[in-house]
A and B are shown apart, each in its own frame.
Chain A
Amino acid sequence: MSTTVESIAAEQMVTADGIPLKVSLARARRRARNRALLLVAPLFLFIFVTFFIPIFSMLFRSVENELVGETLHRTVPLLQNWDESGDAIPGEEVFAALVQDFAEAQETKTAGRPGRRLNYEKPGFSSLFRKTARKAEKLEPPYKEAMIKISKDWGDIEYWRVLKRESGKYTKAYYLSALDFSYDPEGNIVKNPGEESIYIKLFWRTLWMSMLITVLCLVLAYPISYLLSTLPARSSNLLLILVLLPFWTSLLVRTSAWIAILQQEGVINDFLVFLGFLTDDGRLAMIHNQVGTIVAMVHVLLPFMVLPLYSVMKTIPPSYLRAARSLGANPFTAFVRVYMPNTVAGIGAGGILVFIIAIGYYITPALVGGQSGTLISNLIAYHLEASLNWGLAAALGAILLGGVLVLYLLYDKVVGIDNMKLG
């Protein structure tokens, strides 16, 4: 009898009241987990509604293209049978469907928007659509001739090719133009000529300027952080307040201050002229160009580098350096081989933080960047606010996001995210 009890016990542990131990344990854990989930649920919901949904809907706009197919719902299916690689424009039945679609769009006043959409691909579509929609109701067959009479663009095969290409539910046109590609008249994807490729150039500029800003921040922040971490608590707290002081001042004020300092009639130029280093007409251009952007952004982002570095350095015991010295290393070797490797976590955290903020920075380059100092984010803002080409803005944003993620993964591979220490 006792042997059977033992063998059962060996197979399955049970609690005092006979419930299997595993079941009982799972039940106890589930309760704790549910309670934890309940606590984070409001935050999760908030972030989901205010962050994830807007971002995904915005990113979706970079490929979304339902407008044309919706408005021209009779024409588009018929266009699929048309061979765009030939020389002939579509036949009478397509024109007939198009007239009906336009007549309907005129009633619901929806002809303008697909026109504007197609105008991004080929200028002229917008006015063509408006003109045609106004007259569509009164047209009589044969529609083909009647339409071409309204505008001879309808006889131009290039318009038809664009219309067919951009009639699907999704489009890659935004991404192509975000990467400086476009379609030639035959519908092949070609690289834009040099003077028209602005986006790639801006991506590269954003990338190298962000990297430069990150490196400059690191160079400036490292000694400050070291000082902060070695000073006695009283003076280091005071210094830390000075480091954080810029956070309490409006970003606009700080950036405008840089304009006052760096401009041609500004403090630095006046001083250099006064000292005789510059002639009055040889004043340096330090604002509304790349120099201005870099100087102002390094200033704005410096605390983001100081804080992680400081928090890591504070945890490094001074005995490490002493041990290295006592083991025979001169001060420089001790610093490079013992101290610096221990600050990698802070360098990584500060670097990633500054770089990611810099790569998407908008206000400072907009104010002091001028022509040569604007970054990709300024162009995204332009397409959101001025040109209203949200699809292109979304595509640029998505590429930027993708690039940051790639760099992040690269960092994880090389340094390891676990090593990072924020604050």
Chain B
Amino acid sequence: MTDANNAVVRFVDVQKSYDGESLVVKKFNLDMQKGEFLTMLGPSGSGKTTCLMMLAGFEPATHGEIYLNDKPINNVPPHKRGIGMVFQNYALFPHMTVAENLAFPLQVRKKSKSEVEERVKGALDMVQLGEFGSRRPAQLSGGQQQRVAVARALVFDPDVVLMDEPLGALDKNLREQMQYEIKHIHENLGVTVLYVTHDQSEALTMSNRIAVFDDGVVQQLAAPAVLYEEPENAFVANFIGENNVIGGKITRIDGQSCQVDVGESREVQALAVNIGAVGEATTLSLRPERVTLNPGDDCPNIFEGKVEELIYLGDHIRTRMKVCGHDAFIVKIPNSSTHAQLREGATVKVGWTMEDCRALDALH
């Protein structure tokens, strides 16, 4: 291929169907740069694991082509692709010791005995399991097994490492710790990682870029901060982070901004991001932490809110209000010494800027 973008992995118009009636992956295009940590994030059944399996070679693509280092690999069997993979339940071989597990990819590549030993030792040290080489996987804790699985996927220096929800079986604290460890390993080795998860905080923590999947389509592919700050459609806005959703009708479009009727003849000033023409439906997306209480007079959107529920969460107080007729309007009030004192049932003024309120496509 004469493409100049130097992608390690490229999906070109990939489609996948299992039953010949519906497409699991509808039209998937992706360029992965060398050394990138890219996460495919989406609800279960959204097609992200299928894409991973097509890249690993366990599922054939129904249509389209996948390139690895600019070579088409649709007809290359899995064992010749040289892609490391970490499985959901680790798939460590129970009849082999940890060291034998790590040696396996090197032995099938006919590496010399001394090289195998050296690399296995290096890989064990990398995941801080130097002492555990002679143990069986069953004798290790979940976190340790996880590390062995990562080390095994990396020990033969693959171009790309795939991780299929590798932290799903761990408890919360361990999962967070492992997220940092995997991130650091990635940074130290500079290996290209394609990561699949349905846990958005995991994706935000670790990735350079995130592809948000839904219904077999990539909804948005962007860096974590961009996804959170500038979601391009209502699904991404809802899926990433907490979000206040207000449905409405566009009444005026004015360049970057627009005016939306949210019912009871209340008009909201919003940033026009992904909308149709005047008169069409739209979804307003507003992060709970971007709502100010008792805003100044220069705020374009000021409404009355009735406090319905207060939930004390330590670092912030989650407040459910009734605003513009929506009683699931959430406001996060930071727990600072000067924060507003609210009581349930009280009425308070809430406001937000035009830029923080994004007008997106209508939710179905």
Contacts and interface: CB of A to CB of B under 8 A. Distances in A.
Contacts of A328: 79-80, 82, 105, 108-109, 156
A333 B91 contact: no
A110 to B, nearest CB: 65
Interface string A309-344: 000000001011011111111110110011001101
A334 B83 CA distance: 16
B87 A341 contact: no
Chain B contact surface mostly: loop
Is chain A's binding surface mostly helix, strand, loop or mixed? helix
B67 to A, nearest CB: 18
Contact of A324 (B56, B81, B104): B104
Contacts of B87: 319, 322-323
B220 interface: no
A323 B104 CA distance: 11
Interface string B267-299: 000000000000000000000000000000000
Interface in B76-128: 77-85, 87-89, 91-95, 104-105, 108-109
Given A322-B78, A325-B79, A326-B79, A333 B88 contact: no
A341 B104 CA distance: 14
Nearest to B53: A322
Interface residues of A, number: 20
Contact of B83 (A319, A326, A329, A331): A326
Most buried by A among B80, B85, B153: B85
A337 B104 contact: yes
Interface residues of B, number: 28
Given A323-B87, A337-B104, A330 B94 contact: no
B312 interface: no
B94 A327 contact: no
Interface string B59-84: 00000000000000000011111111
B277 to A, nearest CB: 49
A115 B78 CA distance: 79
B58 A322 contact: yes
Nearest to B102: A327
B161 to A, nearest CB: 10
Contacts of B83: 326
Given A333-B108, A337-B104, A325 B78 contact: yes
A329 B80 CA distance: 8
B89 A317 contact: yes
A251 to B, nearest CB: 37
Given A327-B152, A328-B109, 15 more contacts: A319-B89, A322-B58, A322-B87, A322-B91, A323-B91, A325-B78, A326-B56, A326-B79, A327-B85, A327-B104, A330-B108, A331-B77, A331-B79, A333-B108, A342-B95
**Which 6 residue pairs of A and B lie closest in terms of their CB atoms, listed nearest first?**
A323-B91, A327-B105, A319-B91, A326-B85, A325-B78, A341-B95
